[in-house]
Amino acid sequence: MPFRFVHTADIHLDSPLRSLAMRNPELAGLIAGATRDALTAIVDLCLEERVDALIVAGDLYDGDQTSMKTARFLAGQMERLHHGGIAAYKVRGNHDALSKITQELILPPSLKLFGGRAEAVEIDAGGISVAIHGLSFSRPHAPESLLPKYSRPRPGAVNIGIMHTSLQGAPGHDPYAPCAVADLQGWGFDYWALGHIHLRSALAGAATVVMPGMPQGRNIGEAGPKSVTLVTIGDDHSIRIEERVTSIAQFETVTTDLSGAASWPEAVDRVERAVAEVRASAAAPHLVARLRLEGATSLAWRLRHEHELLVTEIEHRMAGAGGIWIDKVEIAAQPSRTEASAGEVDPMVELGALIGGEMRAEPAIRQAVEALVKELRDDLPPDAREVFGRDEAAFEAFLDKLIGDSGEEIVARLAESGAEPR
């Protein structure tokens, strides 16, 4: 009889909102509850598929949370699994190690939480012997590989390893418990249930190595459909994996080329069609779209100057489609270059190039803007400061964009008013 389980990781339950762009209270409410909805969907999947187990490869929580509402919700979902006769196996990741909920949470006996020392639990799953190996983060940081701490495979059993690791590194992820895929496949286990990297990957070989990604994105940086992995281990120890989408809201950047658009209705029509195409292919019930408008068009200045009107009209068009939310509209469209005479370009275009180039690099301007931004950043709560960048390089990139966008807004206002720079 096959042994079946759902493998997930990086739920980041009740993760705080990280985008200041979400000014729509309904959208903010949707995203704020999305991680809970995703966990509920995971438990629903386990019950519907009548699996034997749920494996959580770390970061069920999101840092040093203290809310007992989070604890009660999680306990309730684990009780649903318990009453359904489904076991749960979990290791702590770097975020779980910070959580104070862990020490106070009362969980059903059907949940096995692995500790700071590697251990293995062997079970008889309908004639198949299954050994589940796990090791939790005891501290928020694990600079060295955890693999040598795991025991070798149990003879005759299907060996499943649960590990929270950055593997050999991934963009946007801290290097926790680094480990090479070749080393994992050479350890002798049949399946490695990994967590930490938020993008899904599945590698075959001597062992099946799966990073399921996260079950629910939290911002535009975590775009695309999010899922868990349904695993079936046959009587012959063969392994079959299936991706199952669990995200409630799917983040996507939708780019629209407005080249040659000569009227406002034409521009909005193009945006509407682009969003509709992405919505049709989205796997989640809700699409949260960040719109990026590109191309050379005579509407470029007006799009910037009447940004709020543009957003309102797009949202009005999308309202009837259902399940579409606009996170932000980025204007990257450029004015059409018009020749006033041979060798002479539109002065507005020339001014825009000046602000976007020389003025952006002017030390005095940059220092003044930097001082203002840092003052604003320091007045915000810690969770909201990430919008300015998580490190020095990201902060510098933010300043570049801010100065460039401000200059383009100035030129847009001049062009709309009919003024001509001297």
Per-residue model confidence (pLDDT) at position 53: 98
The token pair at 42 is 């995971």
Cβ 69 vs Cβ 79: under 8 Å: no
Residue of 72, 57, 68, 136 whose CA lies nearest to 100 = 68
**Mean local confidence (pLDDT), 205-229:** 95
**End-to-end distance of the chain based on CA atoms, in angstroms?**
82
Per-residue model confidence (pLDDT) at position 339: 41
Q: Between these two residues, 107 and 149, which has the higher pLDDT value?
A: 149
Cα four-point dihedral sign 388, 394, 399, 402: negative
Q: Place 422 in a pLDDT band, splitting at 50, 70 and 90.
A: very low
Pairing of strands 119-125, 128-134: antiparallel
Q: What is the largest CA-CA distance in the chain?
A: 85
The token pair at 22 is 């979400």
Q: Does residue 14 register a pLDDT over 80? A: yes
Per-residue model confidence (pLDDT) at position 95: 56
pLDDT digits (tens, 9 = 90+) for 83-99: 999 999 999 886 555 45
* Domains of the chain by start residue, with CATH: 3-245 (3.60.21.10), 250-417 (no CATH)
Per-residue model confidence (pLDDT) at position 373: 77
Cβ 259 vs Cβ 297: under 8 Å: yes
Q: Rounded distance, CA 211 to CA 350, Å? A: 49
Q: Between these two residues, 62 and 229, which has the higher pLDDT value?
A: 229
Per-residue model confidence (pLDDT) at position 319: 85
Size of the chain, expressed as the number of residues it contains: 422
**Mean local confidence (pLDDT), 8-20:** 78
Long-range contacts, stretch 362-367, CB < 8 angstroms, 24+ apart: 365/403, 366/399, 366/403
Lowest mean pLDDT among 277-286, 327-336, 363-372: 363-372
Q: Does residue 245 register a pLDDT over 80? A: yes
Q: Between these two residues, 218 and 207, which has the higher pLDDT value?
A: 207
Residue of 284, 277, 278 whose CA lies nearest to 225 = 284
Per-residue model confidence (pLDDT) at position 341: 42
Residue of 230, 67, 59 whose CA lies nearest to 136 = 59
Q: Rounded distance, CA 358 to CA 362, Å? A: 6
Q: Does residue 286 register a pLDDT over 90? A: yes
pLDDT digits (tens, 9 = 90+) for 357-404: 566 667 777 777 778 778 777 777 665 666 677 677 777 777 777 776
Count CB-CB contacts under 10 A for residue 69. 10
Q: Of 140-154, 300-314, 378-392, which one has max mean pLDDT?
A: 300-314
pLDDT digits (tens, 9 = 90+) for 17-76: 655 455 678 888 888 899 999 999 999 999 999 999 999 998 888 766 557 788 889 899
Q: Place 342 in a pLDDT band, splitting at 50, 70 and 90.
A: very low
Q: Does residue 307 register a pLDDT over 70? A: yes
Tell me the sheet residues that pair with 344.
Answer: 341
Per-residue model confidence (pLDDT) at position 148: 94
**Mean local confidence (pLDDT), 137-144:** 68
Per-residue model confidence (pLDDT) at position 64: 62
- In Å, how far from its chain's centre is CA 325? 16
Per-residue model confidence (pLDDT) at position 420: 41
pTM as predicted: 0.80
With pLDDT > 70 as the criterion, what percentage of the chain qualifies? Answer: 79
Q: Does residue 414 register a pLDDT over 60? A: no
Round the average pLDDT of the chain to a whole number and report it. 84
Estimate the share of the chain in helix, then strand, then coil, as percent rounded to the nearest 5. Answer: 40, 25, 40
Per-residue model confidence (pLDDT) at position 367: 77
Q: Rounded distance, CA 324 to CA 354, Å? A: 38
Tell me the sheet residues that pair with 192.
Answer: 161, 209
Q: Rounded distance, CA 83 to CA 117, Å? A: 29
Per-residue model confidence (pLDDT) at position 356: 57
Q: What are phi and psi of 178, to 5 degrees?
A: -60, 145
Q: What are phi and psi of 387, to 5 degrees?
A: -60, -25
DSSP string, 227-293: EEEEEEE-TT--EEEEEEE--SEEEEEEEEE-TT--SHHHHHHHHHHHHHHHHHH--SSEEEEEEEE
